[in-house]
Structure 1
């Protein structure tokens, strides 16, 4: 696969990233909303991360989607397994103004269903900063369970595990 598939839900559409999404990424990472995430140090590092989300589709058949709500870029949902991750991850972020409306849940459900039906990973987790209560709440709402034995790549993260059978 060379690009993310388009997946349409009731209110959101998961679509391949476009270059214009990168400015929204930069603004997000400069805001307090990204306090629990690894942030790029500069626009070059942002490019590396953004390009890896896009290029992962070609290399691994999974990666990041842009979340589109009525034509507006609302954030990202991703299924990724870079070499430094122990397991395949379901990860997300929403831009300001889109949180608290069920958009993240719908996008994550679409991605979770895609993973279960098409990717069929051996395992699927979310690595979440232990103080990120909103993301932990979303992981639980998606059916994720805390796995205290799960290995993380950041000492401050906790692991939420999802059933991978469809």
Structure 2
């Protein structure tokens, strides 16, 4: 099953295509990747990218490429659970050209609404404690820090904090009942 296409007023979340790889590789080689688990080489990058795509067939969720309505590829939002994650995560990665435009919030909100419609009861975001922008986004989305949540295998609280998303805090209809 490929990723479903989701639309927001300014964005389209779509399945990844091979041409998405080059901008991702540039991102991972830049300072913007300081707080993410960047691949060590192009082989590891290929495996990670392919897992974002293949997770849709294996697990029913995975990564979406995010395009503006004008067709510019600006980043990714993903709902994933690789083997070393104790819970399913929503994560995001946006390119410098998308900074400060609200695209990450808009795309993540669309992905969260999709997740709640699919029956997910909670999602987490694993974030480096120094990644202030990602923490701010998680909080804007209504997530709260969950210091009791399990961390990904091999990670410590110096490397990762957990923010918990739930339908009633992320703008799902229950929030307005």
What TM-score results when the alignment is normalised by the length of structure 1? 0.96
Supply the distance in 2 between the matched residues of 1:123 and 1:6 (Cα, whole angstroms).
22
How far does residue 108 in structure 1 lie from its aligned partner after superposition? 0.3
Q: Per-residue displacement from partner, 1:36-73 (whole Å, max 9, x unpaired)?
A: 01111111110000000000000000000000012111
Q: Which of residues 150, 159, 162 in structure 1 aligns to 2:162?
A: 159
Following the alignment from structure 1 to structure 2, what is the Cα–Cα distance between the partners of residues 148 and 40?
A: 27
Partner of 1:90: 90
Please list every run of 5 or more consecutive structure 1 residues that lacks an aligned counterpart in the other structure: none
Is 2:133 the counterpart of 1:130? no
How far the C-alpha of 1:106 sits from its partner, in A, is 0.2
Question: Per the alignment, in what secondary structure is the counterpart of residue 64 of structure 2?
Answer: strand
State the superposition RMSD in angstroms: 1.0
State the shift of 1:164 in Å.
3.7
2:11 match: 12
SS of the residue aligned with 1:20? Answer: helix
Structure 1 runs of 4+ aligned residues shifted over 2 Å read none
Aligned to 1:72: 72
Q: TM-score, normalised by structure 2?
A: 0.90
The equivalent of 1:147 in structure 2 is: 146
Cα distance in 2 for partners of 1:139, 1:122 equals 17
Q: For 2:3 and 2:148, how far apart are their aligned partners in 1?
A: 32
